[in-house]
């Protein structure tokens, strides 16, 4: 499971992608990268620039001068959680960028290709040289060997040959392409953003809609299963991207674990609110697995394991037809759920607040109510970082780096604020 993000026709594509990846941090914590497309007036063509590395988004882009070099009009980004390919090899960090006969190509992919071994073996026997062990690298190689002339049709040719799950964003010269497998296993959403100073339109693609909120983009719709969506300057002028479709399959196979565990509760995936689905899961759990209280018992304690089930807890409680008090208990004594993505606006700050919990043995800890957009819990906590609409890229990076440093210092773990990114698989 990984997080992908893309933006086209933006004045600040690298910064937008940084914020998008930051809000998608829960989908992958091993590595992060951004590739930017910029038109070179001297060479009279679009060239790609990139920066990527191992670690959290805020660590990889710690140096603010990086954004001074990543100028352009479009960008794609990727948060990595390895499922195929070594997690220790920097060669597997996406987006992958290459130059081939039709120009430049960069790809960021979320999913798994089930026939990657046979395709890799076949390509290797034909003389193809692979730089990474990830299954993603197969797709640009297949596209490069296509007999089609246009990148869109080359990508179509490549995706006709692969099997499995994929939601991806691709930069192909001066175009951005978004694609989703015919089964629709992984989510992928399309959004739009209007530049307040110029009124220009920008299109945005992301794994989850929480990445739209932080940059004030508007959710339009999901990329449909089997859809290959083309966004270029003509699509910006007409306000209508062009789509072609892969051959349909008999059924759809959306990943239920996106609702159970992977996605952020303030996101909309598969055209449904994650928060509402999890609340309904809690209600169904209450109906199917009713817990009878014993005589004299005053309250029922509900423990959410893991933290993604915090949203199911209110649903479970609301479904119980009983006067018995239901109390929420945190599954961890020391944690901070990293669902906050450094709010840029009041909309983002109310939709993405984190729950911070400090060890009850810490000096000066006081009980308070910690509020989030999806539930209200009672915990012993110190003051969480303030959510404000004026946070800068530098503040977000310094906050995350400070949190990460505390995690690596065992002598300070009992008193320091800590952050534990959601695990993925």
Instruction: For the sheet with 175-180, list strands across it.
Output: 96-100, 103-113, 164-172, 175-180, 227-231, 242-245
Specify whether 2 is catalytic: yes
Residues 6+ apart with CB under 8 A from 254: 183, 184, 185, 187, 270
Q: End-to-end distance of the chain based on CA atoms, in angstroms?
A: 6
Residues 265, 281: contact at Cβ < 8 Å? no
Q: How far is CA 48 from CA 34, 66, 75, 200, in A?
A: 10, 14, 9, 23
The pair of structure tokens assigned to 406 is 């505390």
Best CA proximity match to 319, nearest among 278, 268, 355: 278
Q: 2, 210, 367, 380: which one is catalytic? A: 2
Q: What's the CA gap between 417 and 401, in Å, rounded?
A: 12
Best CA proximity match to 355, nearest among 391, 394, 311: 311
- Please state the separation of Cα 399 from the chain's center in Å: 20
Give catalytic residues, as residue numbers.
2
């Amino acid at each position: 499971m990984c997080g992908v993000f893309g933006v086209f026709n933006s004045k600040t594509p690298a910064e937008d992608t940084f914020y998008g990846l930051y809000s998608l941090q829960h989908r992958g914590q091993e590595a992060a990268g951004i590739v930017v497309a910029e038109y070179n007036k001297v060479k009279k063509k679009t060239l790609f620039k990139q920066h990527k590395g191992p670690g959290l988004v805020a660590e990889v882009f710690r140096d603010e001068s990086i954004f001074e070099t990543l100028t352009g009009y479009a960008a794609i980004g990727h948060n990595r959680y390895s499922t195929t390919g070594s997690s220790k090899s920097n060669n597997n960090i996406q987006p992958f960028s290459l130059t081939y006969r039709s120009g430049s190509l960069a790809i960021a992919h979320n999913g798994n290709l089930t026939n990657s071994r046979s395709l890799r073996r076949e390509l290797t026997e034909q003389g193809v040289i692979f730089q990474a062990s990830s299954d993603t690298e197969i797709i640009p190689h297949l596209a490069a060997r296509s007999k089609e002339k246009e990148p869109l049709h080359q990508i179509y040719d490549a995706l006709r040959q692969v099997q499995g799950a994929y939601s991806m964003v691709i930069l192909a010269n001066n175009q951005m392409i978004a694609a989703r497998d015919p089964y629709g296993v992984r989510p992928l959403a399309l959004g739009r953003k209007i530049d307040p100073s110029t009124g220009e339109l920008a299109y945005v693609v992301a794994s989850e809609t929480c990445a739209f909120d932080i940059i004030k983009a508007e959710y339009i719709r999901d990329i449909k299963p089997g859809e290959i969506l083309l966004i270029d300057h003509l699509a910006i002028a007409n306000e209508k991207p062009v789509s072609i479709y892969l051959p349909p399959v008999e059924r759809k196979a959306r990943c239920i674990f996106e609702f159970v565990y992977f996605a952020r509760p303030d996101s909309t995936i598969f055209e449904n609110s994650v928060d509402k689905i999890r609340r309904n899961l809690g209600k169904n759990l209450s109906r199917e697995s009713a817990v009878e209280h014993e005589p004299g018992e005053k309250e029922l304690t509900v423990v959410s394991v893991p933290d993604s089930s915090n949203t199911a807890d209110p649903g479970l409680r609301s479904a119980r037809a009983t006067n018995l008090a239901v109390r929420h208990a945190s599954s961890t004594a020391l944690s901070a759920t990293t669902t906050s993505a450094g709010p840029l606006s009041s909309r983002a700050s109310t939709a993405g607040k984190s729950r911070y919990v400090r060890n009850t043995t810490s000096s000066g800890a006081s009980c308070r109510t910690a509020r989030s957009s999806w539930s209200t819990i009672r915990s012993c906590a110190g003051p969480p970082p303030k959510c404000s609409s004026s946070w800068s890229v530098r503040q977000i990076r310094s906050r995350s780096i400070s949190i990460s440093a505390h995690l690596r210092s065992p002598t300070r773990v009992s008193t320091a604020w800590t952050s534990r990114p959601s695990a993925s698989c």
